[in-house]
Amino acid sequence: MYHVQPPWPGALGHCVAGPGIYLRMSHSPAVTSPNMKNQLKLAALIAATAITMYLCYRVIQPFLPAVIWAIALAIVALPLHRWFDRRLQHRTLAASLSVLVITLTLVIPVVIITQRVVTEATSAVRALNSPEYRGRLTRELGKHPRVGRAIEWVQQQVNVGEQAQTVAGKAGSAVPAAVTGSLGGLTQLIIALFTVFFLLRDMEFFSRALRAFVPLSDRDTDEVLARVKQTIDASVRGRVLIAVIQGALGGLMFWFLGLPAPLLWGSVMAVFALVPMLGAFVVWVPAALVLAITGHLGKAAILTGWGALVIGTADNVLYPMLVGKDLRLHTIVVFFSVLGGVAAFGASGLVIGPVIFAIADALIDIWQRRSSRVERTPGSMAA
């Protein structure tokens, strides 16, 4: 008979493990190890943190566009704020003056132009919805045989009148929605300016908090933050400003030539100019073709020359001056980041999309450096 003694004194009980073999088993109470307690506490802490962060996101989600644009404006206005701060030696007063300059030079003009664009859009929708307007345009285009055959082929493929009616109806219903949503837009604007003030005044505090939160070394954190700042500068100070300039140039020429809704079409040109590989030509080229087809050859030539020589070259001349090489992303990457960002996040996606790809690019560079250091370490290839 074999007796297996327990591994600690005081253990009681036994069980039969086989013929003549008795294993003495412990019936003492189970003892939870301190390591297991720590793991349970850690898991509870992780779960509580995840739930709290999700709830924080739900709370701030309605104001996320305002916060995103506030961060972008704060980064762009940071040199102005530092200039005020050096001369006044008062952070609160410097931040207040910076917000005042942003309001006077950017916010108020944008609000006025937006209201005017809504008015012109309403008039344009009513004009497009008019059967007289569509009939007159069709008759003008039908005077040219080749154009007439093309129009007839398009009419056979697509019911242009019905589609125009549908598009006009949807646009007409969307314009009043924009007007009734002006209160929400004003709320977002006030929140954005409020956030800009505190971001500028307490920039050092937020920077230290972000560095403590990011699980990277100081060098890697500096690289990621610098890449984000460069991308926002290039997106807002460069691409948005240049798009506004191109839209203004196109709208001025539309006004000079007596074309309808110049402010509306200038705004549309600015929107297309924001997207790489597209541009304001998406608007002014069809307008010049319509002018040429309807017999206004002089206006068509002026618009073509202005679009090609002035609007088209503004991007090539101004972008290197304003941005330089700050935006390191490839053109095709910027294209998808802008379009995808707008599709996923709305207007704030103009900033969020490129920033996400810039952070991804910075993290890839960090991983590549770490991988190269591991490969150069002696013995790292040992099995």
Whether the pLDDT of residue 90 is over 80: the answer is yes
Which one has a higher pLDDT value, 3 or 186? 186
Q: Residue 154 has what pLDDT?
A: 58
Give the mean model confidence (pLDDT) for residues 200-212.
Answer: 83
Q: Residue 317 has what pLDDT?
A: 73
| Rama region for 219: left / alpha / beta (φ>0; ψ in -120 to 50; rest) | alpha
Q: Among 11-20, 259-268, 334-343, 353-362, whose mean pLDDT is lowest?
A: 11-20
Give the mean model confidence (pLDDT) for residues 242-261.
Answer: 87
Tell me which residue has tokens 């770490």.
Answer: 370
Write the CB contacts of 200 (distance below 8 Å, at least 6 apart in sequence): 74, 77, 78, 81, 94, 95, 98, 99
pLDDT by residue (tens digit) across 97-125?
Answer: 999 998 888 888 877 787 777 777 777 76
Domain range annotation of the chain:
218-366
Whether the pLDDT of residue 267 is over 70: the answer is yes
Give the mean model confidence (pLDDT) for residues 121-134.
Answer: 69
Q: Residue 149 has what pLDDT?
A: 63
With 0.75 as the threshold, say if the pTM is over it.
no
pLDDT by residue (tens digit) across 282-323?
Answer: 888 888 887 887 778 888 899 999 988 888 887 777 766 666
Q: Residue 26 has what pLDDT?
A: 47
Tell me which residue has tokens 């509580």.
Answer: 48
Residue 59 to residue 2: CA distance in whole angstroms: 68
Which one has a higher pLDDT value, 61 or 24? 61
Whether the pLDDT of residue 11 is over 50: the answer is no
Q: Residue 274 has what pLDDT?
A: 79
Q: Residue 321 has what pLDDT?
A: 64
Contacts 24+ apart (CB under 8 A), 170-179: 171/121, 171/125, 171/128, 172/122, 172/125, 172/126, 172/129, 175/118, 175/121, 175/122, 175/125, 178/118, 179/118
Whether the pLDDT of residue 165 is over 60: the answer is no
